[in-house]
C-alpha cells in the first residue's frame, strides 16, 4: 500500500492518466510516446504500488475498475493543481507555461472550430511552453467537467447552471450551418429551405454540420486531441 507519494509514482500516475483519458493502451501510445509493453509495465507497477487493480485489459477491451475510476479522478485533481501552480508562478514573470485543457461540446458549428483554431495557434505562437489539450464531450457531460475542475476552459452552447465557481464569457462568434436529416425524416422533403410555418423544435434528431476534432490543428506536437 502507498504511504507516501514519490517522484516515480507521479510518473506512473501520468501514464495511467493518459491511458484512462484515451480509453486504452493503444490510443495512449502517441500521447505518451511509449510502446504498449512499456505502458503495460508502468500500469502494472502502479497497481503494485497502490495494491489495487486499476483496469482490465484483454479481448474484451480496456475497462477501468471502480477503484481505477477513483484513482483517475484523484489523479485529475493532482495534475490540475500542478498545472495551476506552474501557470500562476510563471504568470508572475509574464512567462506563461504549462498545460491548458479545453473541453468543447461535440457538434459545435464550423465557425466555432475555426475560432478555436485561430486562438490556440496565436497562444502557442506567443508562448513557446504552452501545451494545449482539446477534448470533445457530449452536451450532457460538459457541465460536469466544468464544475469538477477537470479542465480550464469549456466552449459550449449548452445552457449550464451558473455557480459562483465558474466564470462565463460570451464568445463573439456568429455561427451558421446546414441542417441534415435522414431521407426518411419528415423534414427531408424541404430541400430548398424550410417554410416559415415549420417549427424545428417540433421535430426530433436535428443536427448541425461541423468538423471533427482532428481538424483543429494539424502537425503540432504540442497538441493532444481526444474524442
Q: Domain-by-domain residue ranges, the chain?
A: 1-81, 179-208
User: Distance of CA 95 to CAs 36, 90, 101, 106, 131, Å?
Assistant: 35, 5, 18, 32, 13
**Could you count the other beta carbons within 10 Å of the beta carbon of residue 159?**
8
Read off the pLDDT band of 210 (50, 70, 90): very low
Do residues 187 and 194 lie in contact, with contact meaning Cβ atoms separated by under 8 Å?
yes
Residue 218's pLDDT is 45
The pLDDT, as a whole number, for residue 43 is 93
- Please tell me the distance from the alpha carbon of residue 117 to that of residue 132, in angstroms, as a whole number: 11
- CATH-assigned architecture of domain 1-81: Orthogonal Bundle (1.10)
pLDDT digits (tens, 9 = 90+) for 68-120: 999 998 888 888 787 777 777 766 766 666 778 888 888 787 778 888 888 88
Residue 151 has pLDDT above 60, yes or no: yes
Amino acid at each position: 500500500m502507498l504511504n507516501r507519494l514519490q517522484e516515480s509514482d507521479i510518473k506512473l500516475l501520468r501514464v495511467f492518466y493518459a491511458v484512462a483519458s484515451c480509453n486504452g493502451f493503444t490510443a495512449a501510445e502517441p500521447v505518451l510516446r511509449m510502446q504498449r509493453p512499456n505502458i503495460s509495465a508502468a500500469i502494472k507497477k502502479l497497481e503494485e504500488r497502490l495494491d489495487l487493480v486499476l483496469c482490465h485489459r484483454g479481448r474484451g477491451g480496456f475497462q477501468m475498475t471502480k477503484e481505477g475510476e477513483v484513482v483517475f479522478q484523484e489523479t485529475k485533481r493532482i495534475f490540475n493543481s500542478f498545472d495551476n501552480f506552474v501557470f500562476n508562478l510563471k504568470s508572475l514573470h509574464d512567462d506563461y507555461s504549462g498545460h491548458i485543457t479545453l473541453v468543447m461540446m461535440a457538434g459545435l458549428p464550423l465557425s466555432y472550430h475555426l475560432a478555436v483554431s485561430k486562438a490556440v495557434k496565436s497562444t502557442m505562437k506567443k508562448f513557446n511552453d504552452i501545451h494545449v489539450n482539446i477534448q470533445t464531450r457530449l452536451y450532457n457531460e460538459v457541465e460536469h467537467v466544468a464544475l469538477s475542475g477537470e479542465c480550464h476552459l469549456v466552449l459550449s452552447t449548452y445552457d449550464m447552471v451558473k455557480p459562483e465557481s465558474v466564470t462565463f464569457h460570451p464568445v463573439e462568434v456568429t455561427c451558421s450551418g446546414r441542417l441534415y436529416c435522414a431521407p426518411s425524416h419528415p423534414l427531408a422533403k424541404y430541400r430548398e429551405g424550410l417554410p416559415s410555418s415549420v417549427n424545428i423544435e417540433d421535430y426530433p434528431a436535428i443536427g448541425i454540420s461541423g468538423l471533427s476534432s482532428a481538424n483543429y490543428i494539424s502537425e503540432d506536437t504540442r497538441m493532444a486531441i481526444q474524442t
